[in-house]
Structure 1
Amino acid sequence: MSRTIDYGKLMHNAMRGLIQEVLSDIATRGSLPGEHHFFITFDTTHPDVAIADWLRDRYPEEMTVVMQHWFDNLDVTNDGFSVTLNFGDQAEPLYIPYDAIQTFVDPSVEFGLRFESHDDDDDEYDDDDEAPMEEDAQPEQQRDAEVVSLDSFRK
């Protein structure tokens, strides 16, 4: 049996670590510097997401929140973050695990991360098992590559 390196999973973990570090810095400072602001889209069906029932009813699959001028109680952990945001003059606490995040964008500096969802087919095989390949198929044809180009975010 051979084992492969799951670069996609490693990249996602690194990107989620980046989000954690950015949010931890904001939590410590208490505000966003300069013109920075975040659009965070997340999967509301994730079992660990905690949002008000009326928000879940309104956004049954995904939701995008904005962290900019007013937010409160930002608490960042290794698994996710909680924050209170304003929805039509109503303060609502949210808990968003990093695994539920689909996109994280800071348009002030043209920075964005997108997390591709993986179908259950990807989890069909153990790490020690190899997925069966079609005859004459090359290994790099079996998995979609995820390439993140940072050039588009540089000024």
Structure 2
Amino acid sequence: MSEIFSPPAAQLPTDKELVLKVIPMPADTNGNGDIFGGWVMAQVDLAGSVLPARYMQGRMATVAVNEFIFKQPVRVGDILSFFSSVTRVGRTSITVQVEVYAERFADQGRYVKVTEARLTYVAIDSEGRPRPVPPMPKAGG
């Protein structure tokens, strides 16, 4: 059996919030047997929307995937942890950074950073037009 490349273990971020955990299943694989990148992107979009949803107080839409980097393959049975932080608040939009870490099925307790992305969400009204983001609450207040 050939040895599989194993990247160095990663520390989970302490400056971001854990917003989602999910385990990919066999139905989520591509032709190589790894998890399909589009499936990972959909999960990142869901995870990225968690923090903006707290502040937008209504409908919102993903308007940009500013950056998306697949660092390592995701495998069936990995426990994926999605961490997010708000990096920018605009008049009608919020940009977030999402980092995804895999806890390999056969190597519990060891994390590998598999994906990172930056996405922008815009607050929209009932007609789908941009609307102002409500003011962010002040820290400690």
Q: What TM-score do the two structures reach when normalised by structure 1? A: 0.24
Q: Find the structure with the greater CA-based Rg.
A: 1
Structure with the higher fraction of residues in helix conformation: 1
